Amino acid sequence: MEFKEVEAKSILNPCGIPGIDYVINPYIGCRFACKYCYASFMGRFVGKTIYDWGEYVYAKVNAPELLNKEIKKLKNKGRGKEIFLSSVTDPYQQSEAKYKLTRQCLEILAEYGFEGVVSILTKSNMVTRDIDVFKKLKNVVVGLTVTSTDDKISHYFEKNAPAVSVRLKALKTLNENKIKTYAFIGPLLPHFVAQTDELEKLFKALAETGTKDIFIEHLNLAKYIRNRLSVEMKGEDKEVLEKFYSSQSKSYRQELEEKIKKLIKKYKMHLLLDMVIFHKEFQERHPHGQKNPKPF
Ligand code: SF4
């Protein structure tokens, strides 16, 4: 594991993801090391390969100082804009316990009186540490990624991230503290098509946390992700691998989406964007939406 402190050139970076204006990535790399992570391409900016993903983390130690300057350049205190933490790292990975870069950035946004939306997405229960800061922000929404209800599955795919059971508890705590939340089921793991009970368990568990809004995304098997996955899943049962690769077909997605529609209705949830995101089609619909974010 390689860790270092670096100085970034900028921190509030414009972003093309639909609905998001700026991203803050306080770290380069992500210790959570999810097998399916799309951000593994970030290695090319720091001389690493996609296979090194999860094995390096660089803390942008000057992030708060930069944000303090950059935020003041926004017109109308950022009214109508959305800042997302984070697009290519997890803002609450292990290093955040020591560096508190995410927390400091949020404090700066709160103290400045940022008028836009601050949107956070993480796989860590460390996010509950910052509830006091969320309460000072004018408009914040916090999302937890939850891909199953089985800790063994989450440990397999998201090897250094907190277990899903812990994430579900974090969602509940946020809701109890009246913080606006959402859940991100992404990627939709391929076994759900054959194991509807497991999918239902997931919706039930989410509903029990009090979260109503969900984003759902199909597995993204872009070539570089597939290449890394095939190394990460080496030695897996052939059947499991086949299921993975067939998850990109239209028929597979339709079957799953039918099941999802019913569950959303049953648990009175709200599907954000009104669709299950499929990266390939989403990209075609929003051709400017998926530019690679700059790491520095
Ligand atoms: S937590 Fe997010 S950024 Fe980190 S490895 Fe997993 S998918 Fe990638």
Distance 207 CA to ligand 1 centre (A): 24
What CA dihedral angle connects 230, 233, 235 and 241, to 10 degrees?
A: -70
Could you tell me the pTM of the whole model? 0.94
Residue 2 lies in a domain: no
Residue 130 lies in a domain: yes
Are the CB atoms for 206 and 168 separated by under 8 Å?
yes
Residue 290 lies in a domain: no
Distances (CA, A) of 6 to 10, 12, 17, 50, 148: 12, 16, 26, 20, 35
For residue 39 and ligand 1, the question of a CB distance below 6 A is answered with yes
Residue 104 lies in a domain: yes
- If you take atom 8 of ligand 1, which residue's CA is the nearest one? 37
Residue 168 lies in a domain: yes
Predicted pLDDT at 15: 92
- CATH number of domain containing 123: 3.80.30.30
- Looking only at Cα atoms, what is the longest distance across the chain? 56
Q: Does 86 sit behind a cis peptide bond, omega within 30 degrees of 0 on the bond before it?
A: yes
Residue 99 lies in a domain: yes
Predicted confidence pLDDT, tens digits, the chain (296 residues) = 999 999 999 999 999 888 899 999 999 999 999 999 999 999 999 999 999 999 999 999 999 999 999 999 999 999 999 999 999 999 999 999 999 999 999 999 999 999 999 999 999 999 999 999 999 999 999 999 999 999 999 999 999 999 999 999 999 999 999 999 999 999 998 888 778 899 999 999 999 999 999 999 999 899 999 999 989 999 888 887 888 888 888 998 999 999 999 999 999 999 999 899 988 666 555 444 343 444 33
Residue 293 lies in a domain: no
For residue 89 and ligand 1, the question of a CB distance below 6 A is answered with yes
Ligand 1 closest atom vs CA 88: 3
Tell me the pLDDT tens digit for each residue of 248-257.
Answer: 889 989 999 9
Sheet holding 82-85, edge to edge: 13-14, 22-23, 82-85, 117-122, 140-145, 180-188, 213-218, 270-277
Distance 93 CA to ligand 1 centre (A): 9
For residue 219 and ligand 1, the question of a CB distance below 6 A is answered with no
Range of the domain at 78: 8-285
Residue 51 lies in a domain: yes
Domain count, the chain: 1
For residue 33 and ligand 1, the question of a CB distance below 6 A is answered with yes
Distance from C-alpha of 98 to C-alpha of 284, rounded to nearest angstrom = 40
